[in-house]
A and B are shown apart, each in its own frame.
Chain A
């Protein structure tokens, strides 16, 4: 299983803050995971329509789309940060 977290407008569009999913077959990295989520359609496709504005953290560290994903990981998807 992997834990998925969504923040800001990705959370609004997807309609939930987090979920646990089995690591889909053939998915080895963040990029593959995003393609898998886009294919779910609906709010997922909407939230992930423009991946240029999607940032990723794996186990609470910023990660590129090429970063590997393995069972037990916590993967967060969110827009560019706007704190401060």
Chain B
């Protein structure tokens, strides 16, 4: 069980192996990795439009929110372990931004918890993306689809 907010990149294979090492009650490990895109698909942009991405965050609150989100996932699903790594600072297209990984005895819990963590992270973790494009800097706007994706978990609980 861990939450890490860091500037450095992470070794995906090593992180996943370490998460399940020594626990043979784990039958499924589900992971999601978010990557830096080089274009805004909805704006119909050409590949290569975005040169870099800078993630700003709220030190202190970020860690608290991620820990709370993880704790919530653990109350909803029987997880053997889970890991959230979220990077901040400047990144180039293709780089890894975020890792969410959930391990459980069975795949359903691992899949669902992973999706839940990403949906909540997208709408609650205090990060902001600044894209460095050919036409200057722009702050990424929040998506209604992300709010809707997160809301389904609330509806389910009610």
Any chain B CB within 8 A of the CB of A42? no
Any chain B CB within 8 A of the CB of A8? yes
**Residue of B whose beta carbon sits closest to that of A17:** B56
Please choose the segment from A19-27, A29-37, A74-82 that sits at the chain B interface, where 4 or more of its residues have CB less than 8 A away.
A74-82
How big is chain A's contact interface, by range? 10 to 19
Assembled-state Cα–Cα distance A79/B64 (Å) = 19
CB-CB under 8 A from A2, the residues of chain B are none
CB-CB under 8 A from A83, the residues of chain B are 55, 57, 86, 98, 121-122, 125-129
CB-CB under 8 A from A80, the residues of chain B are 141-142
Instruction: Return B136 CB to nearest CB of chain A, in Å.
Output: 12
- How many A-B Cβ pairs are below 8 Å? 68
**Residue of A whose beta carbon sits closest to that of B142:** A80
- B residues sitting closer than 8 Å to A (CB atoms) are 34, 55-58, 60-61, 64, 86, 97-98, 118, 121-130, 139-142, 146
- A residues sitting closer than 8 Å to B (CB atoms) are 5, 7-9, 11, 57, 60-62, 76, 78-84
A sample of 23 cross-chain residue pairs with beta-carbon separation below 8 angstroms, ordered by A number, consists of A7-B58, A7-B128, A8-B128, A11-B56, A57-B61, A60-B60, A60-B61, A79-B142, A81-B123, A81-B124, A81-B142, A82-B129, A82-B140, A83-B55, A83-B98, A83-B122, A83-B128, A84-B34, A84-B97, A84-B98, A84-B122, A84-B125, A84-B127
Are B127 and A81 in touch, CB under 8 angstroms? yes
- Among B58, B98, B122, B128, which residue has its beta carbon within 8 angstroms of that of A79? B128
Assembled-state Cα–Cα distance A9/B127 (Å) = 12
Q: Besides the contacts A8-B56, A83-B98, what 15 more A-B pairs have beta carbons closer than 8 Å?
A: A8-B128, A9-B139, A60-B60, A60-B61, A62-B124, A78-B128, A80-B141, A82-B127, A82-B128, A82-B139, A83-B127, A83-B129, A84-B97, A84-B121, A84-B127
